[in-house]
């Protein structure tokens, strides 16, 4: 399951969807909104995306992950819109027979999502100033 949502991400529900009696490993990653970045206090975080392309790229990353590692199931959900401090902005879960594949696949998924998916974030700081950050995603021309 790959998705981009505007609502709160419920990790417990997603985790239950990874259950597989053939798997001995489940690795998850919660990417949560922190209250600071580069020495500045953050009061609000807003994510925006180009939905059709973002979903397509996330699915491509999932397919590539399946090719690289023997994993049974992958779930990756990214939230857009306003995401309050402390809440989950991105959740990834991977199940596999063995732990090494699950750890490697989960790490690969988050790294690729952060670097390739056209999702941008805007931080608002305690002084009221806002700034778009990490907006230089490289999208190949064949997408």
Query: β-strand 119-125 against 130-133: which pairing, if any?
Result: antiparallel
CATH T-level topology, domain 2-126: Aldehyde Oxidoreductase; domain 3 (3.90.1170)
- Extents of the domains making up the chain: 2-126
- Global confidence as pTM: 0.90
pLDDT tens digits for 84-125? 999 999 999 999 999 999 999 999 999 999 999 999 999 999
The token duo for 7 is 């609502």
Q: Identify the helix (H) or strand (E) that includes residue 65.
A: helix 51-68
pLDDT tens digits for 53-82? 999 999 999 999 999 999 999 999 999 999
Q: What is the DSSP letter of 80?
A: -
Report the alpha-carbon distance of residue 67 to residue 64 in Å, rounded: 5
Cα dist. 21→14, 30, 59 in Å? 16, 23, 25
Q: In the predicted model, is pLDDT for residue 3 greater than 80?
A: yes
> For 110, left (φ over 0), alpha (ψ -120 to 50), or beta?
alpha
């Amino acid at each position: 399951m790959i998705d981009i949502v505007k609502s709160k991400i419920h990790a417990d529900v997603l985790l239950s969807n990874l259950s597989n009696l053939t798997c001995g490993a489940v690795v998850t990653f919660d990417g949560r909104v922190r209250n600071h970045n580069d020495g500045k206090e953050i009061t609000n975080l807003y994510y925006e995306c180009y939905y059709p392309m973002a979903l397509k790229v996330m699915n491509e990353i999932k397919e590539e992950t399946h090719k690289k590692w023997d994993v049974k199931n992958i779930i990756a959900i990214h939230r857009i819109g306003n995401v309050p401090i402390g809440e989950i902005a991105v959740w990834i879960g991977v199940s596999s027979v063995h732990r090494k594949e699950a750890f490697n696949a989960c790490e690969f998924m988050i790294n690729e999502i952060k670097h390739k998916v056209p999702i941008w974030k805007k931080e608002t700081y305690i002084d009221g100033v806002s700034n778009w950050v990490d907006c230089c995603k490289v999208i190949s021309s064949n997408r």
